[in-house]
Structure 1
């Protein structure tokens, strides 16, 4: 009887180790460490970063819900992300709207008429800035 229990337990351990499936939690941790290794570096649109944006649909898009809640910016000169945005477009050419501004992050929309052309997302506690184009998706991600 003890031999049978031992054999069943050993077989279960062997079979569970041979499934070839990765633990999804370990995969997420690997992806997160790869993202953190680029701290302080400017990431442009490369083939590698395009594949990452394709894997996460909607992450680097400007959503209609954001446009609906956005309010015109009263004093755009106070936004530090505008200096970085000038590398990619001229912020003064667009109407600047604040979609979200709380202690954790700030989302600015740059409107071309009633359509958003660009979006900046500043994660304040990490000093991380993402600049997103309505046409191209993520065009820059940098530490500021």
Structure 2
């Protein structure tokens, strides 16, 4: 169904265009002013072992979304978005499952996601993958959020 592949600088325009989507802007920290050049610069700066990928259709290679994992102090924090044409097809659920597996393989002791309190779609995705809510908090950029934990 899906595969992860490393981002390339050739993907920058696609990412910048998708990131202007109302739902992506609402639930992520991406800027509405993000340009392809900004994305190219970010991709070029990724270390070789970065846990950051383009989500693609396994059969066609069609770009479907963005997936990344930030690991700090043994805690992995996946983040993701799915392009509008790919929503409702199970892409986010499959991607979050894959990010959890890769997080554990990379040595993470725990996997946690942060979801805006009003983001019902991402809440369903996290719960379908086995995450449980652990606490509410105010995120400095996203506002009212819930931290979810996955115990594998």
Give TM-score scaled by structure 2 length: 0.29
Higher RCO (C-alpha 8 Å, min separation 6): 1
More strand by share: 2
Structure with bigger gyration radius: 1
Give TM-score scaled by structure 1 length: 0.31
